[in-house]
């Protein structure tokens, strides 16, 4: 498999026998990724809060590919109780997991708190994915123990916003909800959390044949702009400029597919961040900070343990 800006689903290897779980796999980049992986015979679980939308997406996939194996796991990242239930449901249904894609996300909604008291972007984009990953780790390890090197992967779909929009000082441990900051800063902060989560996963579990990567998909036309259009009225005016020339999800998911399957990924890439397509570098200063990653890990574990989720 080559590293190329024209990388697409046709370059994917056969994925027969591989099990994938992807959050938000029914729309945008997630749907394009689900469609591509299923087209290469992977069994894909869409983890979603939107069952009707996911059923429609699966129908659409099967209309073109009747043999596609795509199933639903119900899970709302906005409520950690639901994440735990969804993970338990998946663990009862499957005996292996090769690729976990933490893809679902929201960008710049107005400030609000989840039932667990976390700012909605922080929980949806980071904390809920930290919980999901942690609950699925035993199955990932089990699968990795009988798989060739670099087969079993955890991807965090981050963004270049991790370096462009996060606070200049990095993770804000004194106020993780960033109460007084803009929705854009909170988005960048949550995406920096994604990069640091991957760094910690690699540091802690690289010796268990688990490959953990974060990535920026590029600017892609999807529903993600719903958030900023709600919180930042001016966004509707500048959106055409921001998205000028941007691809749709089918082309735009190339970096996710590359990170999920490419055999060009090396052992020493573990924990790294990739820009489209398969490009090393581009990570911000804080995204390489192992001490900050360790503090974020402790904070996330602590919150989840105190809440009774771990
Ligand atoms: N598009 C871009 O230009 C771009 C650039 C950089 C990074 N990204 C990242 O790419 C990822 C995918 O975004 P996208 O562009 O494909 O946007 P999208 O079309 O809006 O898709 C986002 C997905 O996340 C799901 N989601 C949101 N809140 C959820 C919750 N509480 N529980 C479960 N699922 C939830 C949505 O499901 P519902 O239908 O239920 O809302 C949807 O399937 C995000 O992490 C985003 O930050 C995108």
Pocket test for ligand 1, best of 105, 197, 254 (most atoms within 8 A of CB): 105
Residue 8: pLDDT band with limits 50, 70, 90: confident
Pocket test for ligand 1, best of 29, 72, 78, 259 (most atoms within 8 A of CB): 29
Using one digit for the tens of pLDDT, what is the confidence trace for 39-79? 999 999 999 999 999 999 999 999 999 999 999 999 999 99
| Residue carrying the six token digits 């490419």 | 262
For residue 98, being part of any structural domain is answered with yes
How far, in Å, is the centroid of ligand 1 from the Cα of 145?
Answer: 31
pLDDT average, residue stretch 181-199: 98
What is the share, in percent, of the chain residues with pLDDT greater than 90? Answer: 91
Catalytic residue numbers read 187, 191
Rounded CA-CA distance 273/212 in Å is 9
**CATH number, domain with residue 110:** 3.40.50.720
- Does the CB atom of residue 27 touch ligand 1 within 6 A? yes
Rounded CA-CA distance 147/291 in Å is 31
3-state secondary structure 240-301: HHHCCCCCCHHHHCHHHHHHHHCCCCCHHHCCCEEECCCECCCCCCHHHCHHHHHHHHHHHH
Rounded CA-CA distance 211/230 in Å is 37
HSE-up (13 A, CA, CB side) for residue 20: 33
Chain mean pLDDT for the chain: 96
How far is CA 211 from its chain centroid? 14
pLDDT average, residue stretch 4-8: 63
- Does the CB atom of residue 250 touch ligand 1 within 6 A? no
- Does the CB atom of residue 248 touch ligand 1 within 6 A? no
Smallest CA separation from ligand 1 atom 24, residue: 104
User: Does residue 122 contact residue 176 with C-beta atoms inside 8 Å?
Assistant: yes
User: Does residue 100 contact residue 23 with C-beta atoms inside 8 Å?
Assistant: no
For residue 153, being part of any structural domain is answered with yes
For residue 252, being part of any structural domain is answered with yes
For residue 5, being part of any structural domain is answered with no
For residue 239, being part of any structural domain is answered with yes
What does the pLDDT read at residue 81? 98
Helix (H, G, I), strand (E, B) or coil at 149: coil
How far is CA 176 from its chain centroid? 20
- Does the CB atom of residue 24 touch ligand 1 within 6 A? yes
What does the pLDDT read at residue 6? 62
Using one digit for the tens of pLDDT, what is the confidence trace for 214-273? 999 999 999 999 888 888 888 888 998 999 999 999 999 999 999 999 999 999 999 999
Residue 23 has pLDDT above 80, yes or no: yes
Determine the straight-line distance between the first and last CA of the chain, rounded to whole angstroms. Answer: 39
Residue 2 has pLDDT above 70, yes or no: no
- Does the CB atom of residue 30 touch ligand 1 within 6 A? yes
Rounded CA-CA distance 223/165 in Å is 20
* Nearest alpha-carbon partner for 173 in 155, 193, 159: 193
For residue 6, being part of any structural domain is answered with no
- Does the CB atom of residue 130 touch ligand 1 within 6 A? no
- Tell me the residue range of the domain where 20 lies: 12-306
What does the pLDDT read at residue 1? 41
Residue 160 CA: which ligand 1 atom is closest?
A: 6
How far, in Å, is the centroid of ligand 1 from the Cα of 171?
Answer: 22
User: Does residue 97 contact residue 87 with C-beta atoms inside 8 Å?
Assistant: no
Rounded CA-CA distance 41/19 in Å is 10
Pocket test for ligand 1, best of 23, 26, 28, 101 (most atoms within 8 A of CB): 28
Residue 4 has pLDDT above 80, yes or no: no
Residue 171 has pLDDT above 70, yes or no: yes
Overall number of domains in the chain: 1
Rounded CA-CA distance 193/259 in Å is 18
| Residue carrying the six token digits 């938000």 | 24
For residue 155, being part of any structural domain is answered with yes
What tokens appear for 167 in the block?
Answer: 């606070």
């Amino acid at each position: 498999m080559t590293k190329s800006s024209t990388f697409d689903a046709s370059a994917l290897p056969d994925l027969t026998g591989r099990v994938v779980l992807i959050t938000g796999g029914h729309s945008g980049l997630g749907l394009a990724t689900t469609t591509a992986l299923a087209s290469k015979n992977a069994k894909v679980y869409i983890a979603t809060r939107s069952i009707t939308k996911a059923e429609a997406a699966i129908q659409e996939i099967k209309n073109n590919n009747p043999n596609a194996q795509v199933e639903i796991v119900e899970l709302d990242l906005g409520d950690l109780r639901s994440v735990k239930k969804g993970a338990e449901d998946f663990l009862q249904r499957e005996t292996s997991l090769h690729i976990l894609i933490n893809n679902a996300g929201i960008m710049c909604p107005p400030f609000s708190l989840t039932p667990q008291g976390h700012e909605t972007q922080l929980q949806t984009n980071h904390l809920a994915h930290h919980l999901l990953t942690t609950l699925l780790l035993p199955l990932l390890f089990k699968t990795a123990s009988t798989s060739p090197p670099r087969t079993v992967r955890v991807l965090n779909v981050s963004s270049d916003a991790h370096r462009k929009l996060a606070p200049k000082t990095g993770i804000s441990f004194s106020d993780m909800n960033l109460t007084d900051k803009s929705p854009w800063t909170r988005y960048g902060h949550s995406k920096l959390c994604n990069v640091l989560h991957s760094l910690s996963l690699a540091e802690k579990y690289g010796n268990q044949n688990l490959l953990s990567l974060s990535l920026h998909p590029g600017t892609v036309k999807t529903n993600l702009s719903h958030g900023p259009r709600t919180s930042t009225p001016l966004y509707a005016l500048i959106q055409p400029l921001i998205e000028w020339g941007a691809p749709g999800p089918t082309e735009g998911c190339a970096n996710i597919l590359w990170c999920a399957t490419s055999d060009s990924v090396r052992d020493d890439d573990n924990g790294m961040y990739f820009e489209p397509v398969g490009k090393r570098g581009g990570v911000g200063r804080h995204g390489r900070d192992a001490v900050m990653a360790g503090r974020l890990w402790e904070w996330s574990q602590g919150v989840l343990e105190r809440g009774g989720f771990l």
